Structure 1
Amino acid sequence: MRKWLVVGAGLNLGLGVPAVVPVWMVWYLLSNWPLAALGWTRREPTENDGVWPWFVVFGPVVLLFALVWWLANRPVRRRDEGSGALYWSVGAAATLAPTVALIVASAL
């Protein structure tokens, strides 16, 4: 049971390295529009193109990564006999680990 959870964690940690790009893209989009409109962040002062170009550019990249992530995790999850919630939680945390490491390293 635990073998496939560890394999899934390793797989998602490896996928987390290229995931830095789509995670940054989602953050950039959120921080410049809905979160800035709520007053939680400040907009990029040079950003005046609107949202549409970012959906055209970011959308395919984020969707492609999500598809690769799901297709890579599906066979491993089927072999894991543990709960699905545990597997997907560990997978999401492992995927976000490289991004979190970069954020922490940049703050030092």
Structure 2
Amino acid sequence: MTKHWSAPLLVNVLLGLPGTLPIWLLWYFVVNWPLADLGLTVREPTENDGMLSWLLIAAPIAGLYTLLWWLANKPLRRRSALAPRAYWSLSVLALFVPTTVLAITT
């Protein structure tokens, strides 16, 4: 049984490295459509392709990545001694570490 928080932390930080692409795609979508429609951001003026390209490109990438993340964490969660809420909180926060570092350093 994994008693420490280091195994889920390491696995999710490593999963966060390729996760920068689906996270960026979802962020770009949210900034250009829902938030722009609410008046919270300004839509990219050259972004006029509509929703079909997002359904064909971003949705499968985000869906496959979410499935990969779930399949990697499900057996690890069963072997962990962490409480479920603590485990999933740590996993989600660790997943965003590489994207956050990339956003800060660029």
Same fold (TM over 0.5): yes
1:14-58 per-residue CA deviation (whole Å, 9 max, x = no partner) reads 000000000000001111100000111111111111112112110
Aligned residue in 2 for 1:36? 36
Shift >2 Å, 4+ stretches:
none
Q: Could you tell me the TM-score, scaled by structure 2's length?
A: 0.94
User: Which of the two has greater helix per residue?
Assistant: 1
**Local SS of the residue matching 1:82:** coil
- What CA RMSD, in Å, does the superposition of the two structures yield over aligned residues? 1.0
Which residue of structure 2 lines up, in the alignment, with residue 66 of structure 1?
Answer: 66
Q: Tell me if 1:11 matches 2:11.
A: yes
Match of 1:94 in 2: 94
- 1-side partners of 2:21 and 2:82: how far apart? 30
Amino acid at match of 2:29: L
For 1:35, the aligned partner's letter is L
Aligned identity (percent) is 42
In the other structure, the counterpart of 1:75 is 75
Compare 65-74 and 52-61 and name the one that shifted more. 52-61
Q: Single out whichever of 60-69 and 76-85 deviates more from structure 2.
A: 76-85
Q: How many positions carry a matched residue from both structures?
A: 105
| TM-score, length-scaled by structure 1 | 0.93
Aligned partner of 1:84: which letter? P
CA distance in structure 2 between the aligned counterparts of 1:39 and 1:100, rounded to whole angstroms: 25
Gaps of 5+ in 2: none
Cα deviation for residue 64 of structure 1 reads 0.3
Partner of 2:3: 2
Structure 1 gaps, min length 5: none
